[in-house]
Amino acid sequence: MSFLGEGGDGFTVASGLVGLRCEEDVPRVNYCSFHYDEGGVMKKLTYVVSFLAVILICAQAYAIQISSPIVDSAWLEAIMDDEKNNGNLVILEVGKKFEEDHIPGAIFVDFSKVRSERYVDGYWMIKLLPLPDEFQTLMQASGVNKDSAIVITNAGTHYDEVTFGTRLYWTLKYYGHDNMAVLDGGNAQWNKEDRPVSNAPSAPGTGNYEVTAQRDEILATTAEVQDVQGDDDVQLVDVRDLQFYLGMVRKKSYIYADGTIEGARHLPPNLLIDYHAPYVFMDKDLIVQAMQAIGINPYKETIGTCNSAHQASGLWFILHEVIGNKKVKLHDESLHGWTMRGLPTMTMQIEEMEED
């Protein structure tokens, strides 16, 4: 093995360590030689002045930079097969359990750890954005590094599973990470296409991920939601099944009143995702048309809410990341915090109709 070989238009650097070949775009590195006499025996030492710098240059030249918020299985498999180019790739499978037939190398992230619980204004709230140190510890334990190119997958068999992924994506975005994407259709689409799977356990090393920001421009507090009620320039959108929105059923034990926040428009979750396994995202143009058809402006300043900022993360993801509306926030406390605080809700608005 040669750490530094001269000659030609390029040279191999630390091939046994990083498995890369740097070609013409990497400048040649100067090296120095000197001699010293030890016990009458002349020894020649050669050292490379910028050896570590060359490794870094090469690694950066081949680092993956994901340019789309959604990637498909064919793209991911091609990247996985390209060993010299995927050194910073991390696949995170988020859910309630680790799928038996999962994508090789995927690291399991328990969705219950993606959210946190604590006192807020004297109220004990659950399913919240984790604190910075909590999330940093979780990502480091999941093998995520500062420069990781993250692909987020899920089981892909239900809307809730897809939005496990979008909620993790939103949290990573909030804390400053941008190089990532969601795998369209998750594991279900991967398996449907007969791509390789593994039953090996998730065993990541400790990553060096760090929280680098707190992007409050994508998070709405309950106070902010109160402030924009009645503001025609901001739309509040409830992303739950219709019976929850109307107040026909409550179901969730952590919701303390029926219905929705006054002024909220309703967006059925199945307008964002095809409700046939594998659960893939609907076409962007169709989503735009469908939203406009039900009176929701996809380009307007928007706050998404639901029971616990889980399902509404799908709306944030589509509007903010796919459509490109940067005036979209996720209501972290959602109906959980709203109803815990005893704030008013709205149920069915019934127009009386005469019988024929």
pLDDT digits (tens, 9 = 90+) for 190-215: 999 999 999 988 889 999 999 999 99
Give 276's pLDDT tier (boundaries 50, 70, 90): confident
The residues pairing with 12 across neighbouring beta strands, listed in sequence order, are 21
> For residue 41, what pLDDT is reported?
40
Q: Is residue 127 over pLDDT 50? A: yes
Q: Is residue 61 over pLDDT 80? A: no
d(CA 307, CA 114): 16
d(CA 59, CA 72): 25
Q: Which amino acid is at 131?
A: L
Locate 173 and state its tokens.
């975005």
> For residue 87, what pLDDT is reported?
86
Phi, psi (degrees; rounded to nearest 5) at 304: -100, 135
Q: Give me the residue label for tokens 């709203």.
A: 338
By DSSP bridging, strand 89-95 and strand 149-153 are parallel
The H-assigned helical ranges of the chain are 15-18, 51-61, 73-81, 132-141, 159-174, 186-192, 222-228, 242-246, 284-293, 312-316, 334-340
Direct distance between the N- and C-terminal alpha carbons of the chain, in angstroms, rounded to an integer: 90
By DSSP bridging, strand 31-38 and strand 41-48 are antiparallel
Cβ neighbours of residue 3 closer than 8 Å, sequence gap 6 or more: 13, 14, 15, 48, 51
CB atoms within 10 A of CB 198: 13
Least confident of 69-78, 83-92, 169-178, 290-299: 83-92
Q: Mean pLDDT over all residues of the chain?
A: 85
Phi, psi (degrees; rounded to nearest 5) at 172: -60, -45
Q: Is residue 39 over pLDDT 50? A: no
By three-state DSSP, how is residue 22 classified?
strand
Give 95's pLDDT tier (boundaries 50, 70, 90): very high
Say how far residue 227 (Cα) sits from the centre of its chain: 29
CB atoms within 10 A of CB 312: 30
By three-state DSSP, how is residue 340 classified?
helix
Q: Is residue 5 over pLDDT 70? A: no
d(CA 234, CA 265): 11
The CATH superfamily assigned to 217-346 is: Rhodanese-like domain (3.40.250.10)
Q: Is residue 40 over pLDDT 50? A: no
The residues pairing with 102 across neighbouring beta strands, listed in sequence order, are 198
At the second CATH level, the architecture of 64-214 is 3-Layer(aba) Sandwich (3.40)
DSSP class of 300: S
Give 350's pLDDT tier (boundaries 50, 70, 90): low
- Cα dihedral sign, 136-140-143-146: positive
Average of per-residue pLDDT across 281-290: 98
Contact 261, 346 (CB under 8 A): yes
Average of per-residue pLDDT across 108-115: 98
d(CA 27, CA 38): 35
Least confident of 6-15, 124-133, 148-157, 204-213: 6-15
Cβ neighbours of residue 52 closer than 8 Å, sequence gap 6 or more: none
Give the residue range(s) of CATH 3.40.250.10 domains in the chain: 64-214, 217-346
User: Which helix H or strand E contains 2, and what residues bound it?
Assistant: none
> For residue 356, what pLDDT is reported?
67
Closest by Cα among 275, 338, 264 to 304: 264
Contact 249, 221 (CB under 8 A): no
- Residue-wise pLDDT for 98-111, tens only, equals 978 899 999 999 99
Residues 250, 252, 254: CA angle, nearest 5 degrees: 115
User: Which helix H or strand E contains 37, and what residues bound it?
Assistant: strand 31-38
- Cα dihedral sign, 120-124-129-135: positive
Locate 74 and state its tokens.
């064919």
> For residue 114, what pLDDT is reported?
98
d(CA 178, CA 22): 26
